Structures are given as C-alpha cells and as structure tokens.
Amino acid sequence: MADLTARDSFAGTAAASSASDDATMRRMRRRGGASRLGWLIPTLYILFLMLPIYWLVNMSFKTNAEILGPITFLPAEPTLRNYAVIFTDPSWYKGYINSIIYVVMNTVISVAVALPAAYAFSRYRFLGDKHLFFWLLTNRMAPPAVFALPFFQLYSAFGLIDTHIAVALAHCLFNVPLAVWILEGFMSGVPKEIDETAYIDGYSFPRFFVKIFMPLIASGIGVAAFFCFMFSWVELLIARTLTTTDAKPIAAIMTRTVSASGLDWGVLAAAGVLTIIPGALVIWFVRNYIAKGFALGRV
C-alpha cells in the first residue's frame, strides 16, 4: 500500500519513500530476521534461569520441617521466621554491613584513582603506556587463588587482617584495572576538541575535569562504579581469607552455616535471597551497559 502511493504520486517526497522503506524493513524483519517461534528460545532460556532462583525464594519462606518434608511447590504455611532470624541476629546482619562497607570503600577508591589514569591513557601517549595498560589487564585476569595466601601474609605484616580496608585494598587488584579500562573506553568517545576548547576558554585542568569532563562521562563513571561494586560483592575467596570475625562478609558467614552440623536450610535460603537483592535493584539502570562492563568497556 505504501509502495503504491509512493509510486503513484509522481512527486513522491523523500519522506514518503523512506516511510515505505521502513514498512518493508519491518515486514522483512518479521519474516527474515527471526522465525515465527523465535520468541520461544529466549523464553525457555529465561525460564531455565529463573527456576533455581524460584526454588531458593520458595525455600526461604518455608519452615525447616516443610523443607525437609515432601516436596511442595509453594510454601504451605508461609513464614517470615528465616528473615527474622537474619535481621535480629547480629552475627548474621553484621555480615551484610561488613560486605557493604568494604564494597563501598573499594568502589570509591577504585573509581577515584582510575579517573585520572583513564584520562591519561585516553588522551596522551607516554613512555611505556601500552605496557602499563597491558599489565593492568593481567591483574584483572589474575586468579584470586594465586593471591589468597600472599595477601594474607602481606596484610598480617601490616596488622590489617580482619579490617574492612584490607579487603577493600585487596579487591583493588582486579577492580582498579577494570575501572581504568571501562573509563578509558568511555573517555575515548569524547572528542578531544572539547578539552582544547576548554583550555582556550581559560579553564584550569582540575576545573575543566570536574566541571566539564566528568559530567560528559557521567554514565561511564556510573558503569565503572557499578562494576567495581559488583565484582567486589561477588568475590569471596580473598574476602574470606582476609577476615576472621569483625569484617567477615555475609557470603562467608553463609558457607560457615552450611558446614555446621545443624543445617538451617531456611535461613541459608533467606540469606541467599538477600545477597541477590542488591544486584537485582541496580540492574535496571545498567541494563544497556552490562555487556560493555564485562568486556572491559570494549564493545
């Protein structure tokens, strides 16, 4: 129909013909782009992803008697006891506070030191820049298992074992390189002319950086901060090695409960659900950047 009108009205404007192109495009996409049952594949995949999570949430609202009894697909007598245990017992909820403290410390440190470095990498060439950039990457890729024991000895030497700052600094090993790489990716997208114009206008470097440059890469800073937060939040091996009681992360407290003799499955499930929530809360804001963050800003 659109084709017809475009052809008939001899003075068919550019607008009309592009509209018809769009229509063809849409039709074509529907036919050629994905098969009719294409939606089925992502749906099945999401179902597969949600099933174990559903089971965990399901368990967290059950009593232990029900968990250990015959399988039920919904809690027969929903209970909040498991969550109540966590929120009233300091040895449980302190774990969350500890995790959040060191994760936030790490995020702030990582982004703060990464900002100037990323700017240097994106704007200047200097002696050894490529080697340095590569060396940073190797730290992001380094297996935590290699570093667990030396970290323990290093931080014991400084008397920092079981402090939040020790974990925050240790996680800088992989988070600082990550932040530098992500920020460098975003900064390289800002044209250099902006810097030059600002200098001509008489801005000093710090003022330019804070007033003009940082707002331009605000989304990049957000993404870098999110990924530092996330990787520090999900890491356990190093965090567990460096802490004993006062700064023990929630994830480590959970494993301790598993290995204890009296298994409290309900509380374990509730604790697991609570560790998923921070990620689930912020995921909406970074949904378009997740691939970029995991690929070190290189997509």
Partner 1 sequence: MNKTWNNKAWFMVLPVLFLVAISAIIPLMTVVNYSVQDTFGNNEFFWAGAEWFEEMLTSDRFWAAMGRNLLFSGIVLLIEIPLGILIALNMPKSGWGVPVCLVLMALPLLIPWNVVGTIWQVFGRVDIGLLGYALREVGVDYNYVSDPFDAWVTVIVMDVWHWTSLVVLLCYAGLVSIPDAYYQAAKIDGASRWAVFRYIQLPKMNRVLLIAVLLRFMDSFMIYTEPFVVTGGGPGNSTTFLSIDLVKMAVGQFDIGPAAAMSIIYFLIILLLSWVFYTVMTNYDAASDGERRDG
CA distance 286 to 77: 37
149 binds partner 1 (CB under 8 A): yes
Closest CA to 173 of 209, 153, 199, 146: 146
Stretch that binds partner 1, among 5-13, 27-35, 83-91, 213-221 (CB under 8 A): 27-35
Size of the residue set binding partner 1 (CB under 8 A): 107
Looking up tokens 């990464």 gives 114
Query: CB of 91 within 8 A of CB of 156?
Result: no
Looking up tokens 């901060």 gives 225
105 binds partner 1 (CB under 8 A): no
29 binds partner 1 (CB under 8 A): yes
160 binds partner 1 (CB under 8 A): no
Distance in Å, CB of 252 to partner 1, minimum: 8
Query: CB of 225 within 8 A of CB of 107?
Result: yes
What sign has the CA pseudo-torsion 272, 182, 213, 120?
positive
Looking up tokens 């027969």 gives 76
Residue number, 10 or 73, with CB nearest to partner 1? 73
Contact set for partner 1, span 123-142 (CB under 8 A): 123-127, 129-130, 132-134, 136-139, 141-142
Please identify which residue in 17, 144, 162, 216 interacts with partner 1, judged by CB under 8 A. 144
Stretch that binds partner 1, among 5-13, 81-89, 213-221, 284-292 (CB under 8 A): 284-292
Contact set for partner 1, span 83-102 (CB under 8 A): none
For residue 158, report the phi and psi dihedrals to the nearest 5 degrees: -95, 5
Identity of the amino acid at 65? A
Distance in Å, CB of 62 to partner 1, minimum: 10
Distance in Å, CB of 126 to partner 1, minimum: 5
Residue number, 52 or 90, with CB nearest to partner 1? 52
Residue number, 34 or 84, with CB nearest to partner 1? 34
CA distance 267 to 67: 11
170 binds partner 1 (CB under 8 A): yes
225 binds partner 1 (CB under 8 A): no
Stretch that binds partner 1, among 1-9, 11-19, 43-51, 215-223 (CB under 8 A): 43-51
Question: What is the separation of C-alpha 247 from the centre of its chain, rounded to a whole number of angstroms?
Answer: 22
44-72 burial, b at 16+ Cβ within 10 Å, e below that, comes to: eeeeeeeeeeeeebbbbbbbbebbeeeee
